[in-house]
Amino acid sequence: MKKDLTIIFVTYHSEKNLIRYLKQLKKNYKIIIIENSSNYKLEKTIKAISNAKVIINKKNTGFGSGANLALKKVKTKYALHLDLDTTFTNKSIDKLLNKAFKIDNFAIIGPKIKNFKYSNKHFIKKKIFKNTNQMNFIDGCCLLFNMKQMKKIGFFDSNFFLYYEETDLLKRCIDSDKNVYMVEDVKIFHKGRSSSDSKMSSSIEEHRNWHYMWSKFYFFKKHYGYFYAFIKIFRHIFSSLIKYLFFKLTMNKSKKIKYKARFNGCLNSILLRDSWYRIKI
């Protein structure tokens, strides 16, 4: 079955986490790594421990665009995207792949996330197969793609730089009557916000807040129209501006930067500007 699977990683200055993950994985997996920085030394480092194919982007194009680059190079029946801040085992990968062979008619399958709170709105139909639920939403940290189905849908929307790209893809799958499943007896832990090296945490936090707000407006505008998106984001505009001014006056630098980034992300998206903001390292 491993001949039918390619594992893809989209990374950004995540060398330590990536190496730790690659050492954990079995050697016979096909692996494609997209490094969204100009770290050309990474390829040599990876080749010393893995047979993974490493592609270095000259500039940071975002998660969705990087994942698309990897997915276009996949020649196997299935592709598995993994975030570097997940706790996963080779056995779990095998169980997820085995489930894919049994179901076959699907677009995306994901495991159950141990620390994620599922609500009724996330489910379309529970227990549609043994230990398997048909879903409206699954966490994007681990996604197993049926490549035949995904080529019809078109992969990720590269207008998203960060956040909501998986939500958008899942919605397009469901709108196209392509099935999305969550396998309950395959469980992983998703730490979140820790895939890049910790020394950049302050800059990354600013970056995330800007793009979270930009992407939220863009997602709702894309699927429901400008007016609906404006209503969804309206309170964020004013709350982030008020909090920015408050933390500026109280000289709380980290909070000031966070809410300034949120306000600017909202504003740029409402003004229909591209997702232009990039982290400074």
In a 10 Å sphere around its CB, with 0-12 CB exposed, 13-18 middle and 19+ buried, how is residue 36 labelled? buried
**Residue ending a domain, choose from 139, 159, 190:** 190
Residue 247 is inside which H or E element, if any?
helix 226-249
| 281 in a structural domain | no
Are 84 and 157 part of one and the same domain?
Answer: yes
> Which residues neighbour 217 within 8 Å (Cβ) at sequence distance 6 or greater?
229, 230, 232, 233, 266, 269, 270
Burial class (CB in 10 A: 0-12, 13-18, 19+), 130: exposed
Same domain, 85 and 223: no
Mean pLDDT of 90-99: 92
- Rounded mean pLDDT, 142-157: 96
**Helix pair angle (165-175, 201-224), 10° resolution:** 30
Looking at the structure, tell me whether residues 262 and 169 fall in a common domain: no
Q: How far apart are CA 158 and CA 53, in angstroms?
A: 22
Helix (H, G, I), strand (E, B) or coil at 141: coil
Q: How many structural domains comprise the chain?
A: 2
- Whether residue 69 lies inside any domain: the answer is yes
Q: What is the pLDDT of residues 225-274, one digit of tens each?
A: 999 999 999 999 999 999 999 999 999 999 999 999 999 999 999 999 99
pLDDT digits (tens, 9 = 90+) for 107-129: 999 999 998 889 999 999 999 99
Range(s) of the domain holding residue 97: 2-190
